[in-house]
Amino acid sequence: MEVNADNFFKAAALDKPRVTNKVGSNVTLINVMQIAGLNTLGISIARIDYAPLGQNPPHTHPRATEILTVLEGTLYVGFVTSNQPAPNRNKFLSKVLNKGDVFVFPAGLIHFQFNPNPHKPAIAIAALSSQNPGAITIANAVFGSDPQISDDVLAKAFQVEKNTIDWLQAQFWENNHN
């Protein structure tokens, strides 16, 4: 295969706003699947649009650290550390970011971003330390898996009644499988 400039280019229009989804966000990821020239380089980038009160829900990148920069608006962000002995087990670290602020989410840790402004959207750019960082949205993975995780398992894990699990699975199953 002959290499040319197009292997390293995408007219991604990352300067254009995106329509947000049910939770009020839209992630436009540019990784090795969109730009072949990223292969083996260990980087990718994403534009994230947040509606007023929108969020990029709790998720993890199993193969990448993320550094997020707010371009417009305000974001409340946070992550939870990995399981550690008491007293610091699952410590929650958070910050309110304004335009121009930067925050780092270590690889593999559950994190989120939320736009607390009820009137204005927010925009951020995220750089990730992998050409294919992966993303696991926690609620979608747990309650919307195919086939579904047993409600007995989830009821015990979350210490709730089975009917609560059934209701949650129904919400995510409908959203993910229609």
Q: What DSSP element (H or E) covers 155?
A: helix 151-158
59 is in an annotated binding site: yes
56 is in an annotated binding site: yes
119 is in an annotated binding site: no
Q: In 3D, which of 126, 140, 150 has the Cα closest to residue 71? A: 126
What is the Cα–Cα distance from 170 to 173, expressed in whole angstroms? 5
Q: In 3D, which of 132, 175, 141 has the Cα closest to residue 29? A: 132
Q: What is the DSSP letter of 143?
A: H
What is the Cα–Cα distance from 105 to 91, expressed in whole angstroms? 13
In the annotated binding site for oxalate, the residues are 56, 61, 66
In the annotated binding site for Mn(2+), the residues are 59, 61, 66, 111
In the annotated binding site, the residues are 56, 59, 61, 66, 111
